[in-house]
């Protein structure tokens, strides 16, 4: 049997015979655990000197013995007993101490009974009657009249005997009962700890712990045990039976994706990634697991994996090893190990290269982005012209020339090749901010155009599982997979839309034909299969949307099988030491299809991505113009005030020169003032300020021409 832990609770007369038979069967060796109740220590203690043959039968056994504290009273009693006993008499065990204390308990209680006025009297019991032809003469028996009083007196007794404290609780049990835990070895036994109801397992004597404040942390690990077979290694308590039948392991007989599991001519008859993982995990177990692999299926199509799991639950197989997905329904009838491969369902669609368009250079930006960018080129050019016109000769001249300068300066900043130099502080500030905006737009345009020219475009409108459900297109699923049932039961997809595909060639043909030619719009399958499929087809197909129904692959065992737990630990060990990855690289090495599945529109840059830059540039232009015009207005006001006080040289072209006054000032004069060079305005104001200190201006004097 699988169990290696035995608890022996028998009559002492036949107990050693059990150990004798167990030893002859080889059951007293390493890996076994034998626990005996107090009969074994009591029997061994009662022997004068247990023989070597007797002790050899119980080597490594863990036993329990009633704990009696080593008090001075006990030591004195044992000393007197050793002097009185005759040669060849029995030894002394814990029951003898309890018997001795029981006599003293009865004597002490009887003394108290008499002191409390109790008397010895007997009476007949009407319940005792002789049956027909009975020779027991029950009617001659008498009942002690003070029995209940005497019993209550016994229960109230409290004294210390050779076995320890003698006191009873409300349930008539001894208070603070305790056991010693012994490990039998050699010619005697070793105490490895104690146990009691209140202290639990501990290496400290219970009577010492009773004197300390209550604590939940009084327990401690017991001293080490020498187990059968003279080993200190803690036995597992369960092993696979060496004389049992080998495990019958069901393996799916696949016709596709045989890198995972397939039939093999050489032993053990199967091969593949899943088989190597299982073998590596079994080899890590500390016990042998004889096993036979049995192919499940006819080899013409993939078997139904749900049926294989059901065969395990029905005890037709001891386990199922292969690419078995851990599903909710399966876990209700079998136990799975820790997943050895992560998995999940994905949607696969065909792709094609995007054809080059003569207008591809317009696609990086949306039309709103193009319009706003062009408008800002003209706007910034006009702002720089306004800020530079009064002091920069390159921004002056005939109207036609100035208009061309605005256009040329605006769009030449796109290539950082503007010929005109800016001399004003405000103009330089606006230009620096605008050049930074142009740099960002340039870089983004280049990156987006590169992505658009190299991206792959989907041949269908399927963008994930949601759009696939919403459509009416046929869907391909792997034959035998749980995917069919999941799509129908969980996602409510009509069975008429599902198409079973057996091989990778069927996958490729169905996707290439498409729905219009009898194929499918997409395939839904587990990620490990799809990764292998896309690698073998040189990335002609892609997954879309997010992975859903995440899970994993595991090995299925019958319910409550200890192998499921042990193999889970072994799989984790394989993952930690890197062996699991090595096995995967051996069988499933493939090229990654890393090109992203994006539509062209998703690579186009919209105004949303750049409105912050345009906002910063617009604010800078607005503030610069505000400062500029405030400065102009201050100069113009000063100019007008000084023109009223005296003559000032006329400004503007000769045909438009006029005598300024407060009443005659107009928007036309303001524009003429703005159009005048900054240098000339400063000169006029400076000269007028100098002349006013020496001469008084004539009110009727003409403006100089």
Cβ(504)–Cβ(541) below 8 Å: no
CA-wise closest residue to 621 among 381, 442, 411, 372: 381
Q: What number does CATH give the domain 2-97+169-210?
A: 3.40.50
Does residue 449 sit in helix, strand or coil? helix
Q: How far apart are CA 651 and CA 658, in angstroms?
A: 8
pLDDT of residue 580: 94
How many other CB atoms sit within 10 Å of the CB of residue 487?
A: 23
Cβ(113)–Cβ(144) below 8 Å: no
Cβ(676)–Cβ(649) below 8 Å: no
In this structure, what are the phi and psi dihedrals at residue 660, rounded to the nearest 5 degrees?
-80, 150
CATH of 465-550, one of 2.60.40, 1.20.120, 3.40.50, 3.40.190: 3.40.190
pLDDT of residue 654: 47
CB-based contacts of 397, cutoff 8 Å, min separation 6: 405
CA-wise closest residue to 295 among 250, 327, 328, 334: 250
Domains 2-97+169-210 and 465-550 fall in the same CATH topology: no
DSSP per residue over 287-333, as a string? S---EEEEEES-SSSPPPHHHHHHHHHTTS-SEE-SS-B--HHHHTT
CA-wise closest residue to 252 among 322, 339, 335, 325: 322
H/E element, 350: strand 341-353
Question: What residues does each domain of the chain span?
Answer: 2-97+169-210, 242-343, 360-454, 465-550
Does residue 143 sit in helix, strand or coil? strand
- CB-count exposure of residue 556 (10 Å: 0-12, 13-18, 19+): buried
Q: How far apart are CA 673 and CA 689, in angstroms?
A: 18
| Topology of domain 242-343, CATH | D-Maltodextrin-Binding Protein; domain 2 (3.40.190)
Does residue 572 sit in helix, strand or coil? helix
- Model pTM score: 0.51
H/E element, 553: strand 541-553
ω into 270 cis (within 30 of 0)? no
In this structure, what are the phi and psi dihedrals at residue 258, rounded to the nearest 5 degrees?
-75, 0
Q: How far apart are CA 506 and CA 534, in angstroms?
A: 13
Q: What angle do CA 328, 329, 333 make, to 5 degrees?
A: 115
Strand 341-353 with 291-296, pairing: unpaired
Q: Please give the span between the terminal C-alpha atoms of the chain, in angstroms, as a whole number.
A: 126
Strand 341-353 with 541-553, pairing: antiparallel
pLDDT of residue 662: 39
Helices 367-388 and 399-412: crossing angle in degrees, nearest 10, is 130
CB-based contacts of 233, cutoff 8 Å, min separation 6: 30, 227
Q: How far apart are CA 337 and CA 553, in angstroms?
A: 9
DSSP character for 498?
A: E
Distances (CA, A) of 24 to 20, 137, 187, 317, 401: 6, 51, 20, 34, 118
Helix extents (H) in 122-249: 147-155, 206-209
Strand 158-161 with 143-144, pairing: unpaired
| Counts of helices then strands in the chain (DSSP H, E) | 22, 23
pLDDT of residue 607: 79
Residues in the chain predicted with pLDDT less than 70, given as ranges, are 1, 85-90, 213-220, 241-244, 352-357, 389, 392-397, 415-420, 423, 453-460, 589-603, 639, 641-705
Does residue 581 sit in helix, strand or coil? helix
- Longest Cα–Cα distance in the chain: 169
In this structure, what are the phi and psi dihedrals at residue 68, rounded to the nearest 5 degrees?
-120, 120
CB-based contacts of 179, cutoff 8 Å, min separation 6: 38, 64, 65, 66, 67, 194, 195, 196
CB-based contacts of 680, cutoff 8 Å, min separation 6: 651
Q: How far apart are CA 305 and CA 553, in angstroms?
A: 12
Q: How far apart are CA 475 and CA 481, in angstroms?
A: 14
pLDDT of residue 397: 67
């Amino acid at each position: 049997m699988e169990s290696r832990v035995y608890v022996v609770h028998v009559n002492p007369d036949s107990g050693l015979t059990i150990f004798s038979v167990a030893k002859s069967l080889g059951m007293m060796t390493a890996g076994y655990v034998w626990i005996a109740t107090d009969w074994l220590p009591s029997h061994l203690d009662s022997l004068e000197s247990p023989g070597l043959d007797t002790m050899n039968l119980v080597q490594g056994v863990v036993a329990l013995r009633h704990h009696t504290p080593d008090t001075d009273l006990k030591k004195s009693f044992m000393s007197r007993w050793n002097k009185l006993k005759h040669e060849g008499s029995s030894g002394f065990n814990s029951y003898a101490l309890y018997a001795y204390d029981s006599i003293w308990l009865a004597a002490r209680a009887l003394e108290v009974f008499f002191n409390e006025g109790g008397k010895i009297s007997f009476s007949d019991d009407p319940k005792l009657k002789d049956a027909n032809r009975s020779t027991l003469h029950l009617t001659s028996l008498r009942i002690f009249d003070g029995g209940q009083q005497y019993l209550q007196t016994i229960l109230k007794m409290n004294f210390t005997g050779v076995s320890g404290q003698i006191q009873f609780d409300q349930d008539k049990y001894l208070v603070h009962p305790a056991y010693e835990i012994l490990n039998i070895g050699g010619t005697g036994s070793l105490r490895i700890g104690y146990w009691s109801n209140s202290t639990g397992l501990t290496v400290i004597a219970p009577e010492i712990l009773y004197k300390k404040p209550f604590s939940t942390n009084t327990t401690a690990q017991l001293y080490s045990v020498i187990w059968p077979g003279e080993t200190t290694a803690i036995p597992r308590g369960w092993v696979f039976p060496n004389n049992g039948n080998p495990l019958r392991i069901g393996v799916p007989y696949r016709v596709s994706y045989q890198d995972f599991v397939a039939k093999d001519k050489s032993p053990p008859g199967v091969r593949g990634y899943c088989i190597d993982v299982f073998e590596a995990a079994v080899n890590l177990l500390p016990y042998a697991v004889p096993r036979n692999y049995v192919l499940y299926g006819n080899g013409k199509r993939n078997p139904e994996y749900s049926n294989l799991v059901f065969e395990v639950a029905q005890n037709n197989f001891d386990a199922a090893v292969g690419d078995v997905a851990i599903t909710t329904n399966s876990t209700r009838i079998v136990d799975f190990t820790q997943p050895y491969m992560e998995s999940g369902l994905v949607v696969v669609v065909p792709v094609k290269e995007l054809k080059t368009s003569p207008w591809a250079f317009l696609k990086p930006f949306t039309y709103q982005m193009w319009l706003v960018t062009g408008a800002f080129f003209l706007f910034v050019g006009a702002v720089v012209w306004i800020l530079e016109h009064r002091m920069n000769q390159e921004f002056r001249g005939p109207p036609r020339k100035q208009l061309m300068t605005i256009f040329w300066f605006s769009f030449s900043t796109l290539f950082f090749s503007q010929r005109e130099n800016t001399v004003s502080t405000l103009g330089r500030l606006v230009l620096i901010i605008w050049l930074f905006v142009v740099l960002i737009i340039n870089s983004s345009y280049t990156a987006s155009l590169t992505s658009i020219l190299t991206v792959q475009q989907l041949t269908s409108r399927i963008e994930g599982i949601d759009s696939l459900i919403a459509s009416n297109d046929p869907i391909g699923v792997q034959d035998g997979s749980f995917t069919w049932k999941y799509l129908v039961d969980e996602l409510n997809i009509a069975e008429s839309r599902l198409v079973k595909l057996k091989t990778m060639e069927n996958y490729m043909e169905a996707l290439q034909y498409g729905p219009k030619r009898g194929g499918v719009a997409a395939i839904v399958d587990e990620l490990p299969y799809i990764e292998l499929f896309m690698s073998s087809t040189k990335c002609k197909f892609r997954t879309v949307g997010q992975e859903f129904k995440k899970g994993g692959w595991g090995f299925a065992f019958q319910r409550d099988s200890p192998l499921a737990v042990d193999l889970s630990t072994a799989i984790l060990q394989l993952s930690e030491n890197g062996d699991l990855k090595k096995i995967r690289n051996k069988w499933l090495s493939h090229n990654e299809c890393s090109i992203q599945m994006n539509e062209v529109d998703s690579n186009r840059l919209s105004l949303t991505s750049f409105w912050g830059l345009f906002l910063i540039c617009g604010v800078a232009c607005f503030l610069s113009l505000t400062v500029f015009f405030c400065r102009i207005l201050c100069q113009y006001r000063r100019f007008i005030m000084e023109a009223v006080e005296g003559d000032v040289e006329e400004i503007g072209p000769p045909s438009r020169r006029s005598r300024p006054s407060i009443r005659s000032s107009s928007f036309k004069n303001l524009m003429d003032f703005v159009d005048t060079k900054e240098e000339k305005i400063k000169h006029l104001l400076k000269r007028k300020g100098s002349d006013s200190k020496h001469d008084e201006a004539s009110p009727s004097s003409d403006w100089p021409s």
